[in-house]
């Protein structure tokens, strides 16, 4: 069975009204079977409570199946900035039925302000498969620890899922060492830059070009194609065709 996945860090509500139709058009162009998102917000400043960004896109794109994990309460993460209801997390839209949803938090390390967690879904396509959507802390140490913890969660569940999302992990050599026994890395299949940050007021010159987003597939699967493109967020989207 060939599966097409599109992954995108949605960049929460940054320039949302301008970007939303472009995101919809971009997704329709690629027509993936499964979409995975990070930085999905449910924020009463911008939407009716409960109508998060993934739900808004779901209505426009007509994907019948949906899962959302509200990982972070922004009032808890940044109380000085957020006095209103605002939660952020990961989401899945699928053309195929989602038969099981599991939400597992990741350990919060003392010096890390971020709360992270993994969204596990079981999808009943022609070939059933498991999927984990991740968004690790934006710190090289904490993201490494989150990846190691995620692999332990997967081992405990005795599954071999596709792992996809914003790993905030730019040390691809170390990433490969951690996963090499069981997984193939999208970056090793085809080199790409998923976070081409260029704002000189925040970053030195020349601009930093990072790879932070990955799709990891069990070694029993095969990548058939991979693209990293789009100007609809601060991250580029990953679009992969996978033989499962």
Task: Specify whether the CB–CB gap between 104 and 117 falls below 8 A.
Answer: yes
Confidence tier at 196 by pLDDT (50, 70, 90): confident
CA dihedral angle for residue 211, residue 239, residue 90, residue 244, rounded to 10 degrees: -110
Q: How high is the pLDDT of residue 101?
A: 98
Residue 202 pLDDT greater than 50, yes or no: no
CB atoms within 10 A of CB 94: 22
For 1, 54, 140, 171, 228, the CA distances from 187, given in Å and listed in that order, are: 22, 26, 18, 11, 10
Q: Burial of 160 by CB count in 10 Å (0-12 exposed, 13-18 middle, 19+ buried)?
A: middle
Strand pairing report for 222-229 and 237-243 = antiparallel
pLDDT classification of 187: cutoffs 50, 70, 90: very high
Q: At 49, which CATH number? A: 3.60.10.10
Instruction: Say how many Å lie between the first and final Cα of the chain, rounded.
Output: 5
Q: In the structure encoding, which two tokens stand for residue 184, read together?
A: 């193939």
Q: What are the residues facing 226 on neighbouring strands?
A: 240
- Report the half-sphere exposure of 141 (CA within 13 A, side-chain side): 5
Helix (H, G, I), strand (E, B) or coil at 58: helix
Query: Is residue 97 a contact partner of residue 65, using CB atoms and an 8 Å limit?
Result: yes
Here the tokens at position 236 are 């580029």
pLDDT tens for residues 99-157? 999 999 999 998 898 999 999 999 999 999 999 999 999 988 999 999 999 999 999 99
Closest by alpha carbon to 165, among 125, 212, 109, 124?
212
User: Which pLDDT tens digit goes with each residue over 227-244?
Assistant: 999 999 999 999 999 999
User: Which residues have C-beta within 8 Å of that of residue 121, sequence separation ≥ 6?
Assistant: 67, 92, 94, 98, 100, 101, 102, 130, 131, 132, 133
Instruction: Compute the half-sphere exposure of residue 25: CA atoms within 13 Å on the CB side of its CA.
Output: 8
pLDDT computed for residue 40 by the predictor:
98
Domain that holds residue 22: 2-243
Query: CA torsion sign, 33 to 130 to 234 to 195?
Result: negative
Q: Structural domain tally of the chain?
A: 1
Q: pLDDT-based confidence at 173, cuts 50/70/90?
A: confident
Give, in degrees to the nearest 5, the angle at Cα 206 between 205 and 211.
120
């Amino acid at each position: 069975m060939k599966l097409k996945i599109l992954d995108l860090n949605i960049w929460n509500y940054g320039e949302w009204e301008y970007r939303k139709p472009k995101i919809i058009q971009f997704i329709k162009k690629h027509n993936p079977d499964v979409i995975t998102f990070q930085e999905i917000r449910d924020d009463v400043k911008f939407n009716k409570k409960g109508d998060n960004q993934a739900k808004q896109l779901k209505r426009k794109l007509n994907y019948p199946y949906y899962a959302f994990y509200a990982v972070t309460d922004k009032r808890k993460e940044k109380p000085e900035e957020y006095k209103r209801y605002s939660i952020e997390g990961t989401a899945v839209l699928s053309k195929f039925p989602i038969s099981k949803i599991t939400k597992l938090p990741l350990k919060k390390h003392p010096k890390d302000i971020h709360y992270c967690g993994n969204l596990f879904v079981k999808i009943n396509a022609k070939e059933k498969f498991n999927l984990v959507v991740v968004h690790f802390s934006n710190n090289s140490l904490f993201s490494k620890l989150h990846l190691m913890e995620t692999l332990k969660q997967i081992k405990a569940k005795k599954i071999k899922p596709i792992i996809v999302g914003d790993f905030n992990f730019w040390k691809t050599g170390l990433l490969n060492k951690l996963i090499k026994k069981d997984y193939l890395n999208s970056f090793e299949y085809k080199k790409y830059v998923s976070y081409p940050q260029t704002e000189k007021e925040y970053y030195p010159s020349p601009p930093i070009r990072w790879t932070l987003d990955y799709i990891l597939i069990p070694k029993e699967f095969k990548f058939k194609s991979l693209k990293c493109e789009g100007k609809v967020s601060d991250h580029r989207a990953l679009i992969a065709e996978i033989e499962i």
